[in-house]
Structure 1
Amino acid sequence: MSESRDLRSGLFAFQVLGKAGLRWASCSCDLCFGRVLKGGNGGSVNQNIRLTPPGPGKIFAIKMFARVSFYPTLFYNIFMEKVSTRNWYDRIDSNVILGALPFRSMVKTLEAENVKAIISMNEDYELTLFSNSKQGWAEHGIDFLQLPTRDIFEAPCQEKLKEGVEFIENLKGTGTVYVHCKAGRTRSATLVACYLMEHYKWKPNEAVNHMFKCRPHILLGPKQHFAITLFYENLNNNVTKERKTSPRSSSTQSL
């Protein structure tokens, strides 16, 4: 039911953009609305995904599509928040809120939620008209980290995911971190899943299922699940290395 709803949502967005002649660009995308992988029914992660890097022509099409589709899909998200059960943001735990683009007018709301820092997965052009830059948030006493990732077609790289998780962990106990992209469904949800795995020692499906319960309209495609799985594997590899190099492990081996 929810998957068909998201499919309709995706088709609506493409209809808005159809007159601009950009629907063809969506065909070059590995993330299609009919093939999303979500939490809910097990939240299983396909570890056999093969991701092929796009060529120069596809990269250009992707950049253009992401930019031209930004405002129509942003307004669509505003509309959906007004007429459906979707929230603009949802609390994931005591440390993190996962949400859509925080408008400048939301400062009082963020203060009421004890937000002390913001992580934005948006590119610069997405923040220009309605949201704040690092300096703008600093004027309200809010720390800001930007980890720009292209909308729709990309997942955050491992370096950005690691930086974002460390940022959240370093602020733990001092207030809430508001993690967002445009809609709070894909790019930012990928980062929050990695935080949950790091913080609670969860598996990917546990992290995704928890987010799905808190924010039912998250939308994670193959690339996002691949990034989450890779982050989880790196976590396990680091734990294994730490155990092997720990003084206790060394002394045990010497015995």
Structure 2
Amino acid sequence: MSTSLAHAVDPHSEAHQVSDGPASGHEQAVGSGLVTGTDTATSTNTGAPSSVDTDSKQGTAQLSSGTGPFQGDGADPSQPERLIPQSPMGWVAYTVSLNYNRLATSVLSPLTHWRWFDRIPSSCLILGAVPSQHLLSQLQQTESVSNIVNMCGEFQGHLETMTTLGLVQCWIPTPDFTVPTLDSIWVGIHFIAKCQARWQESDGSQQGLVYIHCKAGRGRSATVALCWLVYFYNLTAQEAQQVLLKARPQASVDKHIYLHPEVVSFYEQVQEQERNNTITRVAWSGSD
């Protein structure tokens, strides 16, 4: 991609930043975030892959298991070395889709009922679209977010902002308009599980939520969010889909996430681990 074209269509350049300002408790401006650290925490699940698939055919970036650019709390299981290459048309599609999401969550929100982010009740997750620098601070202050899962393959995030705020992120670069690989899903699940275990072991002072996002918060990140509901709670994949749809209206763009082969395989592995007493799922306390 030429430099001039990249600058012309890159939605995260200065020319494409919009003013930050929440509307009805939800952020309508856009940016992103990434923070990582070394893997020193112990996973609460030992029966699944712990690294992202590095096969280029799967579309994920090459990973290294060493240190990252941010001195985090050690919860991140992997550190991507580079962004997934984007073609000029890929950036155009990304920009158009991102701006549509901005419109649907602001001007058209009374019609679409879309919001920039939504809390998944009875869980530790907030599912949303790519956060701006302002939203990162807002999420920490008003929503008690302490960790981020970023599924964007096209954007690493605001490193300096994340460092300043002390947020830790697990970055799992996944191409836009694709389903995360099974290994990528497990990386996200392991990260969330470590966060959950750390909070449960603390005296309550470290309790917080995980903000999981992709570009729009309805595809790649919704897939991992659904899988977390299946992993932690005694829900079937289809039941988890219904929880997701009720919590986040725009997730209805794909009402059949639970049928994706990657999700089906994940659920089968979770069931196998439960039969082997590797994990113990808890009862779902939500209304659905």
- Structure 1 length as normaliser, TM-score? 0.64
Q: CA deviation at 1:215?
A: 0.3
For residue 230 of structure 1, what is the aligned residue in structure 2? Answer: 265
For residue 93 of structure 2, what is the aligned residue in structure 1? Answer: 69
Q: Deviations over 1:142-172 (max 9, x none)?
A: 11110010011x2111111111112112112
Tell me the C-alpha RMSD between the 2 structures. Answer: 2.8
Q: Is the 8 A contact 2:146 2:208 kept in 1?
A: yes
Q: CA deviation at 1:67?
A: 2.7
For residue 183 of structure 1, what is the aligned residue in structure 2? Answer: 216
Q: What stretches of structure 1 of length at least 5 have no aligned partner?
A: 1-54, 56-61, 244-255
Bigger Cα Rg? 1
Q: Is the 8 A contact 1:158 1:227 kept in 2?
A: yes
Q: CA deviation at 1:65?
A: 4.3
For residue 173 of structure 2, what is the aligned residue in structure 1? Answer: 148
Q: Is the 8 A contact 1:190 1:220 kept in 2?
A: no
Equivalent of residue 122 in structure 1, options 148, 152, 155: 152
Alignment of 1:1-255 (within 5 A): 65-82=89-106, 83-84=108-109, 85-93=113-121, 94-111=123-140, 112-123=142-153, 125-127=154-156, 131-133=157-159, 135-152=160-177, 154-172=178-196, 173=199, 174-218=207-251, 219-220=253-254, 225-242=260-277
Give the Cα–Cα distance (whole angstroms) in 2 for the partners of residues 72 and 198 of structure 1: 34
Q: Deviations over 1:18-50 (max 9, x none)?
A: xxxxxxxxxxxxxxxxxxxxxxxxxxxxxxxxx
Q: CA deviation at 1:222?
A: 6.6
Q: Deviations over 1:173-213 (max 9, x none)?
A: 32000000000000000000000001112111011100000
Q: CA deviation at 1:136?
A: 3.5
Q: Which moved more, 1:163-172 or 1:224-233?
A: 224-233
Q: Is the 8 A contact 2:241 2:257 kept in 1?
A: no
How many matched pairs? 181
Q: Deviations over 1:54-91 (max 9, x none)?
A: x9xxxxxx955433211111111001101222110000
For residue 62 of structure 2, what is the aligned residue in structure 1? Answer: none
Higher relative contact order, chain-length normalized (CA < 8 Å, sep 6+): 1
Q: Is the 8 A contact 2:241 2:255 kept in 1?
A: no
Q: Is the 8 A contact 2:130 2:213 kept in 1?
A: yes
Among all aligned residue pairs of Structure 1 and Structure 2, give the percentage whose two residues are the same amino acid.
Answer: 30
For residue 27 of structure 1, what is the aligned residue in structure 2? Answer: none
Q: What stretches of structure 2 of length at least 5 have no aligned partner?
A: 1-56, 58-85, 200-206, 279-288
Give the Cα–Cα distance (whole angstroms) in 2 for the partners of residues 108 and 184 of structure 1: 18
Q: Is the 8 A contact 2:130 2:215 kept in 1?
A: yes
Q: Is the 8 A contact 2:223 2:257 kept in 1?
A: no
